[in-house]
Every structure is written in structure tokens, then in C-alpha cells.
Amino acid sequence: MSEDAGGRVFFSNVRRSMEEEDEIILLSVGVDIGSSTSHLVFSRLVLERLDNRYIVSERTVVHESEVLLTPYAADMSIDAAALGAFIDRQYQLAGIKPASIDTGALILTGVAVRRSNARAIGDLFAAQAGKFVSVSAGDALETTLAAFGSGAAARSIRETARIMNIDIGGGTSKISVCEAGELVDLTAADVGARIVSFDTQGKVARIEAAGQRFADEVGLTIRIGEIPDAAGLNKMVERMAERLLQVIRTAPGALEQAAAELLRLDPLQNLRAPDAVTFSGGVSEYIYGVQTQSFGDLGGQLAQAVLKRVKAWGPRIETPEQGIRATVVGASQYTIQVSGSTIYIEPQSVLPLKNIAVITPDLPLEAEVLDSAAIAAAVQTALRNFDLHHGEQAVAVCYRWHPSATFARMDAFCRGVIDGMAAVLENGLPLILVGDGDIGGLIGIHCEQECKLANAVVSIDGIVLKAFDFIDIGAMLETSGAVPVVIKSLVFPSTSAVGVREDAHSHGIEKVLERIA
């Protein structure tokens, strides 16, 4: 927006004009609290101005923390005191004070997202809540994060190849397939290094349901407090690797029942074999020889069993850009834009809104006659892909309008989006629409007056977003009738392909943490 048009772009926290600054530097932290391990990554981000939006031009890792086995209390909830002490120590080792952090991402996976842990984890970051994007990573999202964080998506562009990333963690394995920088297939299965864990004497300390399933499948007796038969345990690990390879290689209709029952998402389509395979997650440390120490789990054995089978399969094995830190390699970035002035907000008291997850559905908007059912289906698919389909939180729908804005086309679009967002709207949450053109006001008015939508409506334009972005929408600026928008994203390493940048992002601020922000 130009100054002549009456708008100026301000940082909402320090009231600096972005028009006068071509570059800003942010200190960022990513925190990954998982069912097996927890760790932090501190980064320095250099952002350069591109029109009204800042983009990441440089990312430097300042400090990678130690990796902590996620501590648990006797009731199997997160031991907040132990986790807090670990986090404090990592700040000290990095020589960084929490107050100096500009932005960050808190990624929660596995049991860390249980409601019993929400308050404890939220309290750890309460002082920085306004700076953090909080992300509850379901299976699909965690798989997506691993695909981009490991560098598989970037490699698929750089090498013009089909790249599969296998992220093997403590409880699950996430498999993603990338082509031309896009995630084209994904699944997840209950195969992980800590589905059975041991104490320092080799006695079984914990058995997950998947661990018991595999033990039963090979006839291994396994009990808490006992040392399992070594040969039987080895047979169990081999079976785990075998089932994982079946999930990775087999077409959906040919998958054995025992392997299909391990799936946490739909099976891979397996249209053709990948050209190359990379590994990430904790088990990857053993696959690439980074780690040899045992941590009381099946990691080392599982790594060798899986590696042997992938080598026999045929695709070349490459080293990822990130291994154990694939899901947290980028902390948050934020960029600030100001919307266009042709917007509609009713009632204005609905603002400000914080940490709103963004979806960018593949909307069929090119035809002269729009299909509202197809639009609704596209919105619902995007919500499901990002684990937002339960309607428990507000979601912003990003769209690119094409071409004309006739009454009929707007009516089909608005009704399609409202139908697609039914689960969200039924919970009384606002309808949030973000466009890149100058049609936001018309769309918002149509939703409220023609479609008789009872929910609050926030329809803004002049903003460019991507899936995995989060946005904060501030109160309306009196001088221009526009609103400031803070865009927060998870930042992943840029590819070395000429002219291409991989900015992958996260999503899903669940009410896990009871809205720490």
C-alpha cells in the first residue's frame, strides 16, 4: 500500500515503518517436545522486504541443543519441572536470554499433546506466549514437516527426482514422497524405536500397544520388569522392519492385513518407486552413523534392519539436510503486511485475532460458472489434510480470485466456502477469508447479507499467504480502514536449486496448551 493511498505499514509492537527498512534480523527458536525426545534449535533470520512482505533471505543456526529423552512423571504426564530445567539450560548454553527471542515455534507431537500436559507445557512458555506459534502436529502434519524439514522436497527440485523420506521416531514412522518440490504422497505407521523401552539393566520399562502387537506376532513373551529373550527381540525388530517396508513398497490393494493395521493414515499409492530415499527422525542418527550409543530402546537394531531392506530394494540412499531435527529445523518467522482497504469486518469487535492457521485449498475458480459443491469439497479436503476438520479452532481460508466478480460467481463461491467450513462455523467461530486481490469487501458483504451467515465475518484482501502460515489480524487502522496482518511461518532451509526457495510451514494451533498465546 502506498502512502498516497493513505496507508502506512507499521510493526505492531514497536511502531516502526517497514517502508523505511529494507532488512530486519530476527532471533528465532524452535522447540520440539515429542513423545520420545525434546530439543531446541536457535536461529538468526535475515528478512528482506519484497513489496509489503518480508521474505527470509538467510537463515543461520546459532545453537542446536542437546537432545533430551522427554521426561515423564509417574502418571505418564510430562515432567514439567525437568523439561523446564532442560530448556533453561539450553538458553544458557546458547548464550541467549528468553527476552531477546523475537519469535518461535513450539511443536508438540505424540503424548505431548494430551490435555493432561497442556497446562504444564503452557506454563513453561507463558512469558513468551505472544511470540510463539503453537503447533500440535498430527500424523499428516508431522509427516509433512519431516518431508520439508529433511530437505526431501528441495532435493526433488534440485535433482528433478522422486524422493522418499522415511522419518522413524520413537512411536511412529512417517513416509513422504516428493516430486517437483511438492508432497505427492504420504502415510504413517505404528513402527518406532521406543514402542518397547528398557531400563539400564535391560529390563522392560514400558510397552506400547504396537510393541505388544509385534511381540505377539513373533511369539515373544515380553513383560514389564523382565529381560526379554534376545533372539526373540531380534526377531521382533526384523518383523517391524519387514512390515515397514511392506507399507513403503506395496500397492494399497496388495498390503497384508497385519501391515495395513499399523497404518495411521491412508496407504501410499506407490505409483512408482522413488529415485532416492532419505531418512530422518531419531533412528536416522543410527542409519548414518551419527549415533552409536543405546538409549534403552530399539533404535540401533531397527536402523540396521530397515537400512538392509531399503538397500536391497534398490533406490539410492542419500543424506538428508536434517535428521533428528527435521520437524523443528526452522523456528518461526513472521512478516507483516497491511491489508487492502476494500475489506469487510463485522463486527469489528471480533478483532484482534491471534495465531489463526491458514489453509490454501485448491479451489476451482477459473470457470465462468462456479461449482459451490466442488468449492466446499476442496475446503474440506484442505481442513482434513492439516488436521483442522474437527472445527475446534478458527481457520483462515486463503483464495486467489479468477476472473470476474459477478453476483452469481460470488454467490457460488461464498456458499461453497461456508459449506466447506461448516464444522468450524457450527462452533460459533468467525469466517475468515483472505484474498490476494481487491474483492475482500464484496465477498464479506455477500457472506453476511446474501448468505445470511450469523457468524462474525473477517474478509480481507491484498495479502499473499501459503499453507502452513499462521496469521494475527490486528484492529482496524483508523487512518486507512485497513488492518495489520502478522504472518508467521515455520522456516525450512532453502534449496540450492537456482531461483527456488523452500519455505515450508506449520499449522494446527490446537487448543492443546489451552491457548497459551
| Per-residue pLDDT, 26 | 75
pLDDT (0 to 100) of residue 364: 92
Helices (H) and strands (E) in the chain, counts: 13, 21
- Sheet of 163-168: strand order equals 182-189, 173-179, 163-168, 276-280, 316-317
Q: How many CB atoms lie within 10 A of CB 265?
A: 15
User: Rounded distance, CA 471 to CA 410, Å?
Assistant: 24
Residue 384 in contact with residue 265, Cβ under 8 Å?
no
Q: What's the pLDDT score for residue 133? A: 61
Contact 319, 357 (CB under 8 A): no
If DSSP states are collapsed to H, E and C, what string results for 94-132? HCCCHHHCCEEEEEECHHHHCHHHHHHHHHHCHHHHHHE
Strands 431-435 and 395-399, bridge-based pairing: parallel
Cα of first residue to Cα of last residue in the chain, in angstroms, is 29
Nearest to 46 by CA among 31, 63, 30, 62: 62
Strands annotated E in 319-466: 332-338, 344-346, 353-359, 395-399, 431-435, 457-460
Of all helices (H) and strands (E), which one includes residue 230? helix 230-249
User: Grid coordinates standing for 402?
Assistant: 479468477
Contact 136, 508 (CB under 8 A): yes
What whole-number distance in Å separates Cα of residue 455 and Cα of residue 458?
10
Per-residue pLDDT, 505: 32
Q: How far apart are CA 141 and CA 91, in angstroms?
A: 27
Q: Mind listing the pLDDT tens digit of every residue in the chain (517 residues)?
A: 333 433 333 333 334 344 444 666 778 787 888 777 888 888 887 766 565 445 567 777 888 888 888 887 777 677 888 888 998 899 999 999 888 887 777 777 655 555 566 667 767 776 665 566 655 556 777 788 788 888 898 899 999 999 999 999 888 899 999 999 888 999 999 999 988 999 989 999 888 889 999 999 999 999 999 999 999 999 999 999 999 999 999 988 888 999 999 999 889 988 889 999 999 988 999 999 998 888 889 999 999 999 999 999 999 999 998 777 666 653 333 344 556 667 899 998 998 887 788 999 999 998 889 999 999 999 999 998 888 888 889 999 999 888 888 999 999 999 999 999 999 999 999 999 998 877 889 999 999 999 999 999 999 987 777 776 788 787 776 655 677 776 766 554 433 222 222 233 333 333 323 333 3
Task: Name residues whose C-beta falls within 8 Å of residue 84's C-beta, 6 or more positions apart in sequence.
Answer: 124
State the pLDDT at residue 501. 26
Beta bridge partners of 182: 179
Which alpha helices (DSSP H) does 386-499 contain, by range? 407-420, 422-425, 440-445
Long-range contacts of 207-216 (CB under 8 A, 24+ apart): 208/171, 210/171, 210/262, 213/261, 213/262, 214/239, 214/240, 214/243
Q: Which pTM does this prediction carry?
A: 0.66
